[in-house]
A and B are shown apart, each in its own frame.
Chain A
């Protein structure tokens, strides 16, 4: 509810296009193709959303430059926003580097739910299964560019960690 004293009501600033809020809601429902428990919003991939009367532009940040999922993410975002009935441009930008600090708390929980330890400083990595800190890194390089290989000495499970960048 917009109160009488709100800047929108006073006409000081134009009210935001409700389509932008819808676009952001839709984006929050687009998941990473390799980690279905985390949305691209919680992964911190969405840099900017611009909605004009006749156009929508979404700027995404690439996690790793050689990630083969980038094109798939781009087309999934374009398809998801098509329901808004305006032409959609989805672009990758390097304006700011994507870092693991962009992950939201919900994104970190989503990683754990997928069996992937969230990024942490060396020494602070915890097993996603039993939460033990008794873990060792097997290799900085895992099955995808964004993951490292670890082993938990308590529950004796190998697991992956989202690489800290």
Chain B
């Protein structure tokens, strides 16, 4: 068990930094993207719920960026890492490059992301790197509510006569990118050898797909297609992400010292 980043070998430290960047950027991008529903969600309760989940994700991103800043130790703090990069330097999964779209697309994206993320978090609860394990333990207690909530919405939309075609459209657009969240990172082997991720980490995507099968069968939904170009799962970001990046960096662009 390792308690300080300084005790890690340089190669392990770089591998860990890439994992933390992927997780933090995922949470940051879905958090910002879903916060666009604040004030305009289809129902008042959902406005509150979606805003709460978005706020949770930004909190998780902040904790992960803080840990990343400790691991990288290049003088940048969490805010600098979060806000001061050009769009192409972000490392989130391609699934999150899609715009929020309509409510069915937002729910479908969140369902695919939250279920994959919870598989990732469950595996990282066994990490040999103590600071990551501690943050993951905290995040999992909050994410439990997200999975419960979004799963009930996913089922509701799949059963509604007006909403089902929209859900099927969303699955059609997002399905082939669903596997990008758990696609192996370039640093996967180094992470596994150091015990930062358990050995089953490489098989998480397959395990996650299997875990979704009962839900998809029950709702009579087409199975998720295989994800192409997994080696570029976190690259080639979309115009829609570049637009979002312009939005979430706008305040920082006006005043670098702005705080709450």
Contacts and interface: CB of A to CB of B under 8 A. Distances in A.
Contact of A97 (B53, B138, B148): B138
B63 interface: yes
B60 A65 contact: yes
Nearest to A71: B260
Interface string B146-177: 00110000000000000000000000000000
Contacts of A142: 48, 52
A62 interface: yes
Interface in A95-115: 95-99
Contact of B148 (A62, A94, A140): A140
A139 B46 CA distance: 9
Contacts of A129: none
Given A64-B56, A163-B145, A94 B45 contact: no
Contacts of B222: none
Interface in A121-165: 138-143, 145, 149, 163, 165
Nearest to A100: B141
A65 B59 contact: yes
A94 B49 contact: no
Contacts of B60: 65-66
B55 interface: yes
A10 B49 CA distance: 59
A41 B74 CA distance: 36
B134 A97 contact: yes
Given A66-B62, A140-B149, A141-B49, A94 B134 contact: yes
A84 interface: no
A68 interface: yes
Contacts, number: 65
B230 to A, nearest CB: 30
Secondary structure at chain B's binding surface: helix, strand, loop or mixed? Answer: helix
A157 B214 CA distance: 39
Interface residues of A, number: 23
A67 interface: yes
B24 to A, nearest CB: 12
A165 to B, nearest CB: 4
B131 interface: yes
B190 interface: no
B87 to A, nearest CB: 24
A97 B137 contact: yes
Nearest to A147: B52
Interface string B113-141: 00000000000000000010011011101
Contacts of A67: 59
Interface string B37-79: 0000000010011001101111110110000000000000000
Contacts of A95: 134
Nearest to B52: A141
A66 B56 contact: yes
**What are the 7 A-B residue pairs with the smallest beta carbon separation, nearest first?**
A66-B59, A65-B59, A141-B49, A94-B134, A141-B52, A165-B141, A66-B55
18 contacts: A62-B138, A64-B142, A66-B58, A66-B62, A95-B134, A96-B134, A97-B137, A97-B141, A98-B138, A99-B141, A138-B45, A139-B48, A140-B145, A145-B52, A145-B56, A145-B142, A149-B45, A163-B145
